[in-house]
């Protein structure tokens, strides 16, 4: 090897060493300059972890406070807290019927409002005989719109209405596409699911405000949590009830009025009779009686609740789902229920 070649080799080696030193130095400089960003990201991660832990602890506490502690302590005196009479709409079956019985078991007099006179009379007699309370009935079809309310107002006159349970609701025959609904069905959904609650609240609330006590329960649905395809108009009407209830509570809580948005998930009632799967009672699909027993204990405690502890767990999970994931899952579930229902129809 010539001297010139040796010199070039040494120069190349020195250059490589210098490059390595320069690269190491560059990495150190980058590390120093990024330290503030790394620390910021670490702080954000710590805050997110703390928030997640706090949310989990708070949700667990809420679950226990709402659904377990009230069942261990003495039952609240609803007559003393709110008044002598309760009005329950849509009460001849399902949640409404069971909720009315639960209120009667706490010695609240019951006014039953529904469209089937025979069923109303049978239920009124059953409640009066079983729980030794006064009962009254009002026959009204909420799908008829504004024409029914003067008669209801007259029937309620002179009674101390302490609790109003807006349970009356209308569902599709089964989950379906919006364009498959008839115009009559759409108006019925509006009149029953939205109009009824507004008009009944408007009717009884002034006297509650005068007495500075009262409770209003608006029965919404799990479908109010997120946009729910194949139940579009129904879920939108229940979302309205949820927002209506929450806003009303902020308006009238300072005047002693408790307003609750009750958000049940699947319950074994006539509303789910289109599906054999949903009419079978199980851990996640309770009977209306079991559901009502739990739901009444949340009255006066939570202004927005599912009313049932397993539904609360489902509700908490639903809140953290991205909208697209909820919609995707809801579409698949409702479409399978739609196909199940249509396949059961006689041809």
Question: pLDDT tens, 104-150?
Answer: 999 999 999 999 999 999 999 999 999 999 999 999 999 998 899 99
Inside any domain, residue 6: no
User: CA angle, corner 196, sides to 198 and 78, nearest 5?
Assistant: 75
In the chain, the N- to C-terminal Cα span, in Å, equals 99
Residues 6+ apart with CB under 8 A from 138: 111, 112, 113, 120, 151, 152, 155, 156
CA distance linking residue 110 with residue 133, whole number of Å: 8
What is the count of structural domains for the chain?
1
Q: What is the pLDDT of residue 103?
A: 96
Q: What is the pLDDT of residue 12?
A: 52
Inside any domain, residue 169: yes
Lowest mean pLDDT among 9-13, 19-23, 87-91, 94-98: 9-13
Active-site residue (options: 234, 240, 291, 308): 234
Inside any domain, residue 143: yes
Residue 142 belongs to domain spanning: 65-344
Q: What is the pLDDT of residue 10?
A: 44
Inside any domain, residue 94: yes
Inside any domain, residue 28: no
Inside any domain, residue 261: yes
Cα→Cα distances 251→163, 166, 213, 244, 256, Å: 17, 18, 14, 11, 10
Q: What is the CATH number of the domain that holds 82?
A: 3.40.50.720
Check if 308 is active-site: no
**pLDDT tens track for 8-18:** 544 555 444 44
Inside any domain, residue 53: no
pTM > 0.85: yes or no: no
Inside any domain, residue 330: yes
């Amino acid at each position: 090897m010539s001297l010139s070649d040796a010199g070039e080799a040494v120069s190349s080696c020195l250059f490589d060493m210098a490059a390595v030193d320069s690269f190491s130095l560059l990495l150190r400089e980058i590390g120093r300059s990024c330290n503030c960003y790394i620390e910021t990201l670490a702080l954000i991660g710590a805050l997110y972890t703390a928030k997640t832990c706090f949310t989990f602890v708070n949700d667990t506490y809420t679950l226990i406070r709402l659904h377990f502690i009230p069942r261990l302590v003495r039952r609240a005196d609803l007559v003393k807290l709110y008044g002598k009479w309760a009005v329950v709409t849509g009460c001849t079956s399902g949640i409404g019927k069971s909720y009315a019985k639960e209120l009667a078991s706490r010695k609240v007099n019951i006014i039953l409002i529904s469209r089937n006179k025979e069923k109303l009379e049978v239920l009124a007699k059953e409640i009066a005989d079983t729980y030794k309370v006064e009962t009254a009935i009002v026959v009204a079809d909420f799908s008829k719109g504004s024409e029914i309310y003067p008669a209801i107002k007259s029937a309620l006159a002179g009674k101390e209405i302490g609790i109003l349970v807006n349970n009356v609701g209308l569902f599709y025959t089964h989950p379906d596409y919006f364009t498959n609904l008839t115009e009559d069905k759409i108006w019925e959904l509006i009149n029953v699911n939205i109009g009824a609650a507004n008009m009944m609240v408007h009717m009884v609330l002034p006297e509650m405000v005068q007495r500075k006590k009262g409770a209003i329960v608006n029965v919404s649905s799990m479908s109010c949590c997120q946009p729910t395809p194949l139940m579009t108009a129904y879920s939108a009407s229940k979302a309205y009830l949820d927002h209506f209830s929450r806003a009303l509570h902020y308006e009238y809580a300072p005047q002693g009025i408790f307003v609750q948005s009750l958000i049940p998930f699947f319950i074994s009632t006539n509303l789910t009779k289109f599906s054999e799967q949903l009419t079978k009672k199980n851990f996640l699909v309770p009977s209306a009686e079991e559901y009502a027993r739990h739901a009444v204990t949340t009255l006066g405690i939570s202004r927005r609740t599912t009313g049932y502890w397993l539904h609360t767990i489902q509700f908490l999970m639903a809140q953290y789902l991205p909208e697209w994931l909820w919609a995707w899952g809801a579409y698949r579930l409702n479409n399978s229920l739609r196909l199940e229902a249509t396949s059961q129809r006689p041809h």
